[in-house]
Structure 1
């Protein structure tokens, strides 16, 4: 039986409202895309946001809700995603949005499942032991989204190096978010700082946000932000292969999110006294700066910075296949 036709304008309108509420930074950058790409990016974002909110029992990335029943919520995400990817109405506009953009661009269930793998780790109260574990987590929850975004923008599924660099943008975003949200995650009983990093600076498990350890945590946050910077540089190289408007949008997003990491590093021990934000004025400045950079060759500094990344998308996929979590 064929699926009922979807109302594309309604799904796009709902997705637009979602990104405006869920991510002001990404919403600002997405406005720079051509109309078709912009709408498809909104549709994909709506699915990502819905998955995260369902699994974490939260609203638009707010405070975590009751975490009992996480396995059941994860199963619901997988069921609705599979329905949408099969072209069937999923009963939720965010999942129908995924089905629509998948049909328009060639996104696959394997790509979606890579993202869902990150939600599965959170549902299992997983925490990273090593830096490689951290990066594999970031691959699932954000790098895999970067790959899907690249396909939405027209990158060929077999263009491995460009997909690697698209994943790098997601990795940079997630590392910045983790560094910014250490205090909020701690309050929710979560820690994404590798246990080995904590041991290196003599912080006992579960005590990372105590005032006595603030100086050490600032050091670890700078380390994480340095990782983010290397992946941001790699992503800028990949952006140079996109169409001008897409390049402009990606460079703007990279700059805005990169500022989160840079501000966390600069604030040091004060980074978690209040939420680190990029102001509206600063976002506009990055949009203007990105427009200029989009017309220029990729600077040598990006190639130099990207050389410091220690994990690529293909490395992380190989690690996951060779040594599964659990």
Structure 2
């Protein structure tokens, strides 16, 4: 939970409120995905090494010994990789054994697709490219969460709407981090798009995400999803009005207003 709080202001709160078992499953998945995201976004290692490491993680999470294989893969780079990445084996072990197949499968899949995007230098030209990218790094998180909800208490949900839930949250991040991404030479906006078009794309996906959580009806899945979705709506509204990031006080007020 210390690492979770250090790496995510948005997801620390809803994960910390989950019931035992479910909390470990979602925390494990989030931290493993954060670990590979830190490889994809690393500022000082080469794209070739990023691809090598991400493909390595893809293999690790399909192996019979995630701990040994991940340490063998990452230990030569302990001086440059983030702590959350170097501890990926700990996050993997945190996952309850009865659901680790779901989590490990999605970590492997995301690592492979992240490697593919690094290999093409995140070349996004069309809305279809953007859809593929936002699926790779977030839409499949929605898919995974839907499987975790079903594992925990039998909650069923619409997979297409779950993808839009993840995709909408990622689109908010793209809007919020626009200047930072451009400064490192990465442009996630399709050709000809400005903030107006990306905001429209984001809101379209968030509207589907609203429908997704309505379908959840109640229970821990709904309690979890309401918080990041509420913050996403507030952030895109702020960006549309000329702002950028919600203040900590604004986040806490929004969270406390959620029933």
What TM-score results when the alignment is normalised by the length of structure 2? Answer: 0.81
**Which residue of structure 2 lines up, in the alignment, with residue 140 of structure 1?**
136
User: How much has 1:150 moved relative to structure 2?
Assistant: 2.1
Out of 46, 53, 58, the residue aligned to residue 67 of structure 1 is: 46
User: How much has 1:255 moved relative to structure 2?
Assistant: 0.7
Alpha carbons 2:25, 2:96 under 8 Å: kept: no
Residues 102 and 136 of structure 1: CA distance in aligned 2, closer, same or farther (over 3 Å):
farther
Bigger radius of gyration, 1 or 2?
Answer: 1
Out of 28, 48, 69, the residue aligned to residue 43 of structure 1 is: 28
**Which residue of structure 2 lines up, in the alignment, with residue 221 of structure 1?**
195
Structure 2: where are the runs of 5+ without partners?
72-85
Structure-1 separation of matches of 2:170 and 2:66: 31
Residues 226 and 243 of structure 1: CA distance in aligned 2, closer, same or farther (over 3 Å):
same
Report the secondary structure of 2:61's partner residue.
Answer: helix
**Which residue of structure 2 lines up, in the alignment, with residue 25 of structure 1?**
10
**Which residue of structure 2 lines up, in the alignment, with residue 279 of structure 1?**
247
User: How much has 1:114 moved relative to structure 2?
Assistant: 3.4
User: How much has 1:21 moved relative to structure 2?
Assistant: 0.9
Range with bigger deviation, 23-32 or 176-185 = 23-32
Alpha carbons 2:142, 2:163 under 8 Å: kept: yes
Structure-2 separation of matches of 1:232 and 1:79: 33
Alpha carbons 1:56, 1:123 under 8 Å: kept: no
Out of 27, 37, 49, the residue aligned to residue 52 of structure 1 is: 37
**Which residue of structure 1 lines up, in the alignment, with residue 185 of structure 2?**
189
The alignment's C-alpha RMSD in Å is 2.6
**Which residue of structure 2 lines up, in the alignment, with residue 98 of structure 1?**
92
Structure-1 separation of matches of 2:89 and 2:209: 28
User: How much has 1:151 moved relative to structure 2?
Assistant: 1.7
Give CA-to-partner distance per residue, 1:265-314, whole Å, 9 cap, x none. Answer: 110xxx5xxxx2222222223223321xxxxxxxxxxxxxxxxxxxxxxx
Out of 57, 64, 74, the residue aligned to residue 77 of structure 1 is: 57
Alpha carbons 1:40, 1:101 under 8 Å: kept: yes
Structure-2 separation of matches of 1:167 and 1:284: 26
Residues 227 and 18 of structure 1: CA distance in aligned 2, closer, same or farther (over 3 Å):
same
**Which residue of structure 1 lines up, in the alignment, with residue 83 of structure 2?**
none
Range with bigger deviation, 103-112 or 128-137 = 103-112
Q: Does 1:250 align with 2:225?
A: yes
Give CA-to-partner distance per residue, 1:15-47, whole Å, 9 cap, x none. Answer: x22221111111122233223222221111110
Range with bigger deviation, 23-32 or 38-47 = 23-32
The alignment of Structure 1 onto Structure 2 pairs a total of residues equal to: 238
What TM-score results when the alignment is normalised by the length of structure 1? Answer: 0.65
Structure-1 separation of matches of 2:127 and 2:146: 25
User: How much has 1:94 moved relative to structure 2?
Assistant: 1.9
**Which residue of structure 2 lines up, in the alignment, with residue 309 of structure 1?**
none
Report the secondary structure of 1:193's partner residue.
Answer: coil
Structure-2 separation of matches of 1:262 and 1:100: 36
Structure 1: where are the runs of 5+ without partners?
1-15, 58-63, 199-219, 292-326
Structure-1 separation of matches of 2:2 and 2:103: 25
1:115-264 matches, cutoff 5 A: 115-124=110-119, 125-154=121-150, 162-195=158-191, 197-198=192-193, 220-240=194-214, 241=216, 243-264=218-239
Residues 286 and 35 of structure 1: CA distance in aligned 2, closer, same or farther (over 3 Å):
farther
User: How much has 1:88 moved relative to structure 2?
Assistant: 4.0
Alpha carbons 1:87, 1:99 under 8 Å: kept: no
